[in-house]
Structure 1
């Protein structure tokens, strides 16, 4: 593990303090890396603050409408041109523990020795106040009628899973060469789930690292398209926005990953927005649309 190149990919929008705190935790790691930070039109001085405190960060300016997937895709594209050995997706609201990167890299080395070199390693996070698990790996629900990807809590052992939420994800070069970048069909949600699922279809695997790699708070569902206190027209409006289920992106996802009856699953979120379905846990990929990602409102 002495001679490798690691690129850390982050996108941000008007969360200067969070971004700086994320970088502070990142630079406490005991490995070398390059940081690619997409500033998607920040108006709060994020870029200037980063330049002053972390001058080595490679700042890429976005067009102001990238949201999470678009920003991460731009950062990933820049790093892919340089040919790194590893790429780390990192949310700027995720604070990693001092040895997190070393642990993720060691887990990949272990899996390589076990015959699984094309492995994505997912770091699980916990709430900084309650200690409860928040984000990490995901498995598709075993219920025949469900298109939901359920969060899987970490254990003390490596666990294989179906896909992941993109708060802290280590992708080795061999996987990046097979899968490529995040799909441009997605704007804010679903891109990370899609990446893991595409990777598995191409013969790669997705593993949850033991324990937790850091902290990240969950965002409230209040004001989102699943908030039953909102009127129907407002829920539908929010559902069709980039943070919800835009028609094109949701169509691509369901056609690609939901089997021959994908059109049945396609209707579900729009139906739920209309009827105000209260069982939030049954919403397909529910954690995806409410997670606290970096984006433009």
Structure 2
């Protein structure tokens, strides 16, 4: 079946928060895309006036680029939801959400839409993520189920997020989980599921959204020809994935996802197994590197705060004690 790629209209949504250089490079890579029918909605999520002004002055004058400025940082979820609200007011058929610390391949949008059209809008489609600083190594393609095969028991096929790409993942496949580093949501799915949940500020929101989609019968599809290069963690911790700040947010988010999506029996089993496993892991990490006591503290505080959250399920305002 020949697909007329000039037909589906795509809105690319990405955020800037005091990262003008990464954002500028990301936008420039997007504007080189071979896809014919797209616009970029850049949401400035409360950056300093200086950062925003410099970014605005350095971005190309292109009618495909729309900038929406927020005076305050309302978090990743808030920023993306703002973008989705603006985009949904127009006649876009697909919403491509992607991180700003990325460089996208010129054919990526085209490949994502080819795959999405093939699945008749019944799938969230992601692609092949490479490392920003080592461009021929793979960082992420999605997750598969671990041998335990339980809910949230995912593992990445990529070894240590630094696996050389030699064509070993060049086949389209359905994934158990994926990430919004770069993913396409068809309008059909957005109308069914809605916005990202404000129970999250950042981290966990994409897992929550993907599980909601799976529960509705939609699929998570990996499209190997859609390529992007990703730094990761720039806004929150300058790329340090083992910081206490990230440990707090990811632990809190994981517990919330379990509470939101598990049955009562599944929740009990998960909390016993996951909490025990992760607590032991972080205690051992503490004894190995005692200067990293804050990692164990972050893990513990996230559990305590989750116990409060589980009673009333309040909106996450981004509080992080680290």
The TM tier, using the shorter chain, reads 0.7 to 0.9
Tell me how far 1:276 sits from its aligned partner. Answer: 4.7
Tell me how far 1:13 sits from its aligned partner. Answer: 0.8
Structure 2 counterpart of 1:230: none
TM-score (norm: length of structure 2): 0.71
- For residues 207-246 of structure 1, what are the structure 2 equivalents within 5 Å? 207-218=221-232, 226=242, 235=244, 239-240=247-248, 243-246=249-252
Structure 2 counterpart of 1:35: 40
- For residues 35-114 of structure 1, what are the structure 2 equivalents within 5 Å? 35-43=40-48, 44-50=50-56, 53-55=59-61, 56=63, 57-62=65-70, 64-112=72-120
SS at match of 1:142: coil
The answer to which of 186-195 and 142-151 deviates more is 142-151
TM-score (norm: length of structure 1): 0.77
Structure 2 counterpart of 1:138: 143
Deviations 1:166-220 (A, max 9, x none): 1110111111111211111111100111111110111111100024512113559
Q: 1:29 to 1:162 in 2, by over 3 A?
A: same
Q: Which runs of 5+ in 2 are unaligned?
A: 159-167, 289-317
Q: 1:251 to 1:32 in 2, by over 3 A?
A: same
Q: CA RMSD in A?
A: 3.3
Tell me how far 1:144 sits from its aligned partner. Answer: 5.5
Provide the rounded CA distance (Å) in 2 between the counterparts of 1:97 and 1:225: 25
Tell me how far 1:273 sits from its aligned partner. Answer: 8.0
Provide the rounded CA distance (Å) in 1 between the counterparts of 2:23 and 2:188: 29
The answer to which of 90-99 and 267-276 deviates more is 267-276
- Structure scoring higher RCO (CA < 8 A, sep ≥ 6) equals 1
SS at match of 2:214: helix
Is the 8 Å Cα contact of residues 157 and 210 (structure 1) preserved in structure 2?
A: yes
Structure 1 counterpart of 2:315: none
Provide the rounded CA distance (Å) in 1 between the counterparts of 2:150 and 2:185: 31
Is the 8 Å Cα contact of residues 162 and 196 (structure 1) preserved in structure 2?
A: no
Going by fraction, where is helix more abundant, 1 or 2?
A: 2
SS at match of 1:181: coil
Number of equivalences: 266
Provide the rounded CA distance (Å) in 2 between the counterparts of 1:134 and 1:238: 18
Which has the greater radius of gyration? 2
